[in-house]
Amino acid sequence: MDTLAIVGASLAGLSAARAARAQGFTGRMVIIGDEHHRPYDRPPLSKDFLLGTITAEDLFLETEDDALHAEWLLGSGAAGLDAATRTIRLHNGQSVAADGIVIATGARARQLPPLAGLDNVFSLRSIADAQSLAPRLVPNARLVVVGAGFIGAEVASAASSRGMEVTMINNTPVPFTAQLGEDMGAVVANLHTNNGVKVISDAVIEEFRSSGGRLTGIRLADGQELATDVVVVGIGAEPNIEWLAGSGVELGAGVLCDPMGRTNVPGIVAVGDCAAWFDDSTGTHHRVEHWTGALERAALAVQALLEEDAPQQPLKPHYFWSDQHGVKIQFAGHSAGYDRLDIEAGDPEEHSFLAVYYRDDVPVAVLGMNQPRLFTKWRRSLGKPVHKPVTSGLVAATP
């Protein structure tokens, strides 16, 4: 392999570049990105960066020790791919031919079309998004967060600490259920309520009201009227895969890959938020939209790209963390289908505890709030049978 092209100047793309050099690739490396910035860390955007405790310079991920010796093509992302010839076409008309390609184009924030172009409506995915939103977080202003995902929840936490009047609306009965299950989702929702955030669940938006290019209010189907000064939409993300349409690379809810990141086209792998890797444990493809996945899985995909017969390696349980209202939330594994939930330490009402999710007496997920040491211990045990009385520390669970 003489030329390696990495499409996406993201954490996943940078991790792939580092892995390629570490695994002995000495050829030409081209890194393509649609933003003008080199790779930067996104999780702090809704935390420290939004609060002004760190600057943009603190976010950049490259170090002097990387020695990537790469060509950076920034500010004009990929517009198309001819998989047969492994040629990438850029929006600016350039093209890059490569022997191997890493697709790392990430995802973008899902939008609400009725709110397009309104001055006080934001999503949060990039440095530019955070720089636009931060000046709007001022004391006594009213913020509505549409969607109770973790990015929206972190924005709600930051805004509340700034003295804003915050409302978070969610269209499911219990926020955070998809990630944590109903029981623990309710605990995190209670953390927000205890810190002055109004949480509205099962919300159905009936009308957006705007004036002078600004959103002024939201009317819900139950008659509630939410006046607002600032709105943040946090309703999930969509993979950036449209540029691959017609390329020959198989697509679904992302770029479909095997358990090592290989696509259906030899010489092309995918990593990060755009990649839907096959999970042997569930028998399905799914995207892992977390920082740790972008960091760790890139090395496996690069190995599969550089070594034709690279053996499949077990994937670590997916992991994410969040900082909300001064509480560190850590989660690893998959909560779907759990049949038992044990509180191993602490008290959920005090938001300092550790909970373990079981399926058939096997720990499949672990949640910690302000319990980093114990969480790390339990994270290592996921997937391994643990025999203990079913009644020990039992908490009612909703599979």
Which of 304-313, 347-356, 390-399 has the highest average model confidence (pLDDT)? Answer: 347-356
* pLDDT tops 80 at residue 6: yes
- Domains of the chain plus CATH, in order, are 3-108+237-306 (3.50.50.60), 111-233 (3.50.50.60), 326-395 (3.30.390.30)
The pLDDT > 90 percentage for the chain reads: 82
Average of pLDDT values for 359-381?
A: 93
Residue 397: pLDDT over 50: no
| Helices 177-194 and 150-161, packing angle to 10 deg | 10
Q: Is 54 helix (H, G, I), strand (E, B) or coil?
A: coil
Kindly tell me if the per-residue pLDDT of 74 is higher than 90: yes
- Say how far apart CA 250 and CA 255 lie, in whole Å: 6
pLDDT in tens, 316-350: 888 999 999 999 999 999 888 899 999 999 999 99
In angstroms, what is the C-alpha Rg of the chain?
22
**165 pairs with which residues across the strands?**
142
Residue 385 is predicted with a pLDDT of 59
- Residue 211 pLDDT > 90: yes
Phi and psi angles of residue 310, each rounded to the nearest 5 degrees, phi first: -60, 130
As a whole number of angstroms, the distance between CA 161 and CA 67 comes to 40
Residues 236-287 pLDDT 10s:
999 999 999 999 999 999 999 999 999 999 999 999 999 999 988 778 898 9
Q: Where are the alpha helices (DSSP H) in the chain?
A: 11-22, 48-51, 127-133, 150-161, 177-194, 291-306, 372-380
Q: Using alpha carbons, select from 331, 370, 324 the residue that is nearest to residue 347.
A: 370
- How confident is the model over 132-138, as a mean pLDDT? 96
SS3 267: coil
Say which residues have a Cβ less than 8 Å from residue 346's Cβ, sequence separation at least 6: 352, 353, 354, 369, 370, 371
Output the CA angle 153-242-204, nearest 5 degrees.
Answer: 35
Condensed to tens digits (0 to 9), the pLDDT of residues 217-233 reads 999 999 999 999 999 99
Report the pLDDT value the prediction gives residue 346, as an integer from 0 to 100. Answer: 97
* Residue 316 confidence (pLDDT): 80
pLDDT in tens, 8-46: 999 999 999 999 999 999 999 999 999 999 999 999 999
Task: Note the pLDDT tens digit of each residue in 107-123.
Answer: 999 999 999 999 999 99
Q: Which two tokens stand for residue 141?
A: 């202003």
pLDDT of residue 392: 38
pLDDT at position 386: 57
Q: Residue 152's closest CA among 174, 176, 128?
A: 176
Q: C-alpha 384: how far from its chain's center?
A: 26
